[in-house]
A and B are shown apart, each in its own frame.
Chain A
């Protein structure tokens, strides 16, 4: 072999060459994603599990909650009230005569509420005295307790109205009718299904996983295997290196989001009232805030173990707990609330909930997108600054 035979013409400095390098690196990355089991675990299995959990497992609504109605003295009024509770779709009702057993059931968690009508309930109603209906709930589960109280109150109020209308002579009218009553209407989510707001939120969690955990892991592994070192001695520059990583994971993220959104609509019956271009735009911006985080974590740690820990603690946990997807931001202490203003997931969750349930509400979406764009710009600049084509 002679040197002339070796001398392949090199085209290394034109824009075409630059693009060729970017394309080569992206293709390499895509091949690695497809052939790597972690990708399927984090980008395939985990999202499905999350959707499953929030589709079927976690529900904050009240439905078919077991309660016991204790009627110490059976009278027509008491029975009528009992019937109202039984007919309610929120409760599964057991009847009892003595309080003791019911209270034990409450303690054991077998029922979530005990509604007691005292022995002189009807008498007092008839006399026009105040005849209390006592309801006992388990405060160690505040969400259910609060909802049980709320709905029980509703059943009671409705019963009063019904009684007044149906049996006008049973009890003096003016003693019963609530003067003011509420007509509730739930905008965007008329059935008030918690799935409808949890599932769009879980899409945000899925994006966080892919955007930070997967990228951080895969790239830290490259550092450990030593291939990045070899790469640095080729004509590849910072821009090609970063684009070669950002592009494939961006595409993967968009693909995963599309799958998750499709599943949300077709499998879990979550409505989608927004427009697809808007959904893509918001997701794109969010990914642009997540991907630099993943890349930064892997560049700084260069170690898979630490990278996965960092991604979980710095990205996943905050997205899960602080984005407003499951816990209300307005209820958080002020210090933590301020923290959430810097969290991209917060804006993405709001946008998703709006897009799915309300539609293209620009007053919500535009500010969110602007904030995401700003955060993305800052993180991307930081990433470019921190990436060097040298080992240190």
Chain B
């Protein structure tokens, strides 16, 4: 039996590599995503244009504005002369944020009264706006600190001291590279499985396999093992790219990483097998994979925290294996995730894997008829 499976495995890998179409899928998306996604998927806001309406004559306002100009995130500071101009700038989307200093601003500060600065934000890009508001808050807080210490020669009031664990410099790639490992491993696991069966059907060789001494179980194994191998290879390749090219640290256990990847791939391959049981052509397999991947990726916590979802949806994501895998991958890269936390995320995947593989295997055998 093993010899037959090995023959099937060799044939699958050869066919996968030699068919220009599937070779395309193996190479192009990872390459493209590596170049694009790694740099694009950031929530840090840079290159912000801001507008300032300074109706004040004093130096305090000028000082504060200078602080903003000094921050690299703000690439352009435009001075406007009226509220209508602010409106125009904000409306047209040319600026994301605008500061409005009232005429009595500096006077109030100098006399020890509190003074307000209006900050207007473009809510159409509300996420970026909130983050930029955060930057502004930080800048103002630091300004306050200095003001108080200058003015009162007393130790100023406390400030909040932030400490950022695991990614102290808030580097984009440290977040996106582990996610990339997750995404591409998923893609490969799904696509290779779904394609291999669909291709066989399209070529007409599927009947050839069914008439041969191969048992249905051997055929399933022969179709899923290549996906496992390719998925592992992909995960390794992406991890290497992350570590050596993008300089993301890998702080955790390599063994746990591979263990988790294997378990995860088993779960994902089950889904791929399911899709391929339904698909009659390679193109249908691609569409089916796509239709599964987009929602499950988006609802996995990779794009936005699961805690932000409504409770009923959060519970629904418990059956999404990607959710657990992303946690492990990020943890293994950035947090040196201890074994018990890895295991805590591993066993749900294992269960999901067993279920999907069993169900898919049944459907597949049923459809082979």
Contacts and interface: CB of A to CB of B under 8 A. Distances in A.
Interface of A: 38, 41-42, 45-46, 49-50, 52-54, 56-66, 106-109, 112, 124-125, 128-147, 149-150, 152-154, 156-157, 160-161, 174-190, 192-194, 196-197, 217, 304-309, 312-313, 317, 321-322, 324, 326-328, 330-333, 336-337, 350, 353-354, 357-358, 361, 363-364
- Interface residues of B, dominant DSSP: helix
With a 10 A CB-CB cut-off, give which of B130, B155, B309 has the most chain A CB atoms: B130
18 contacts: A38-B287, A46-B291, A59-B309, A108-B341, A139-B165, A140-B178, A142-B172, A149-B160, A180-B115, A182-B116, A182-B133, A182-B137, A186-B122, A192-B129, A217-B287, A312-B286, A317-B36, A322-B40
A54 B295 CA distance: 10
Interface stretch (B10-18, B221-229, B299-307): B299-307
B88 A192 contact: no
B116 A181 contact: yes
B260 interface: no
With a 10 A CB-CB cut-off, give which of A112, A139, A194, A363 has the most chain B CB atoms: A139
B140 A181 contact: yes
A45 B124 contact: no
Contacts of A41: 287, 291
A221 to B, nearest CB: 8
B157 A130 contact: yes
B131 interface: yes
- Interface residues of A, dominant DSSP: helix
B41 interface: yes
A130 B308 CA distance: 35
Interface string B145-180: 001100110111111111111111010101100100
With a 10 A CB-CB cut-off, give which of A60, A189, A190, A333 has the most chain B CB atoms: A60
B40 to A, nearest CB: 5
B47 A330 contact: yes
Contact of A187 (B120, B162, B282): B120
B44 A179 contact: no
B175 A141 contact: yes
B294 interface: yes
Closest 8 pairs between A and B when the two form their complex, measured CB to CB: A189-B123, A139-B167, A150-B134, A330-B47, A143-B43, A304-B283, A186-B123, A59-B308
Given A60-B304, A150-B130, A187-B121, 7 more contacts: A42-B287, A140-B178, A146-B44, A186-B121, A309-B21, A333-B39, A336-B36
Nearest to A363: B92
Contacts of B148: 174-175, 179
Contacts, number: 330
Interface size bracket, B side: 35 or more
Nearest to B152: A174
A308 B291 contact: no
B357 interface: no
Interface in B290-320: 290-291, 294-295, 298-299, 303-305, 307-310, 313
B304 A128 contact: no
B214 interface: no
Contacts of A186: 121-123, 126, 129
Contacts of A156: 160
B131 A146 contact: yes
B125 A353 contact: yes
A202 to B, nearest CB: 10
A321 B154 contact: no
B175 A140 contact: yes
A157 B140 CA distance: 11
